[in-house]
Structure 1
Amino acid sequence: MSLVERLIQELGPWSWWVFGLLLLGLEVLAPGTFFLWFGIAAILVGSVALFVDLSWQLELILFLLLSLASVFAGRSLLRKESADEGDPSLNRRGSRYVGRVFVLDEPIVQGIGRLKVDDTVWRIAGPDCPGGTRIRVNAVQGAQLIVEPATD
């Protein structure tokens, strides 16, 4: 009898706990959430085996079933969470300004001007307006904001 076989036999149901904790430790080292579900399944099998006397074949089948169930449940849970997160206009910074009203620091001359918003200077296009005019952003074309005088 090898050392591993003897150790598993002596630990009994606790060997599932050890295996589950090893898988959870592997999850910390490996990217993603793959080993987490198998670690949870192993700990659950160890918990059941503490109270119910099962053969090793039944324990293995229970582990496989719980692993599949936890993987599918975990994937659907993470998919729902990731769909709710994030900023839809993260890579389209100018789209955040559509509909907002700003005051021109510099005039728009021959349809082109500049607008400072927070710490960014944007190129703007629109009708000629003097500095100090209130303008509304209507659209974004690449890195340029399309503006018009604000009427409100």
Structure 2
Amino acid sequence: MSDWLSNLQWWHWIVLSVALAAIEAVAPGVFAIWFAASAAVIGLLLIVVPLPWQWQIIGFAVLGGVALLAYRNYRKKHPENYEQPNLNQRGVQYVGSELVLVDAIEQGQGRARLGDGVWKVEGPELPAGARVRVTGVRGAILTVVPA
């Protein structure tokens, strides 16, 4: 194995870089791309400066690790702001909405019309037809109070 490692050329690193970038493209996780960049840097560096294989491996690992940690720290300090943070949390989108009870709330449970559907609701005892306001969500059950 050390025979193969001792013959590492610049183009080996470029091929590794392209392979890691392809892996990142197929299975994005913002992990492989930093090691792809690290492999590219080592490959380009070898064109200018010949390095023993041990330093190549160490440089690749250190550059990739530092780049990954720097990116993770940057993302923690600058989180992405999504335009629709509740996109896949349908019930949360309805907090503040006013609904009409289809079934009376008895023993804390009832049903209310929302758009073209009917949702389970929890809240104080109220008769059918009463107007309620959504104050929260627990799974697929809306928490309501009288409007």
TM value normalised by structure 1: 0.58
The structure where strand makes up a greater share of residues is 2
Task: Find the counterpart in structure 1 of residue 118 from structure 2.
Answer: 121
Residues 107 and 128 in structure 1, CA contact (< 8 A), matched pair in contact too: no
1:87 aligns with 2:86: yes
Over the aligned positions, Cα root-mean-square deviation in angstroms equals: 4.2
Counterpart of 1:47, as a letter, is: L
Residues 89 and 96 in structure 1, CA contact (< 8 A), matched pair in contact too: no
Q: CA deviation at 1:75?
A: 3.1
Aligned partners of 2:5 and 2:125: how far apart in 1? 83
What CA deviation, in whole Å up to 9, does each residue of 1:89-141 have, x standing for no partner? 82x82x54333223x3747487875321124312444464574x543334557
1:55 aligns with 2:51: yes
Larger radius of gyration: 1
Aligned partners of 1:36 and 1:136: how far apart in 2? 47
Aligned counterparts, 1:102-141, within 5 A:
102=99, 104=100, 106=102, 108=104, 114-124=111-121, 125-126=123-124, 128=126, 131=129, 134-138=131-135
Counterpart of 2:112, as a letter, is: L
1:38 to 1:100, Cα distance in 2 relative to 1, 3 A: same
Task: Find the counterpart in structure 1 of residue 143 from structure 2.
Answer: 145
Aligned partners of 2:70 and 2:55: how far apart in 1? 22
Match of 1:40 among 37, 41, 48: 37
Task: Find the counterpart in structure 1 of residue 67 from structure 2.
Answer: 70
Equivalent residue of 1:54, what SS? coil
Aligned partners of 1:107 and 1:61: how far apart in 2? 68
1:63 to 1:116, Cα distance in 2 relative to 1, 3 A: same
Counterpart of 1:69, as a letter, is: V
Counterpart of 2:133, as a letter, is: R
Is there any run of 5+ residues in structure 2 with no aligned partner, and where? none
TM value normalised by structure 2: 0.60
What CA deviation, in whole Å up to 9, does each residue of 1:25-80 have, x standing for no partner? 34456674443322210101122233x32322544443232122122123335556
Aligned partners of 2:5 and 2:110: how far apart in 1? 78
Equivalent residue of 1:137, what SS? strand
Q: How many residues align?
A: 140
Counterpart of 2:22, as a letter, is: G
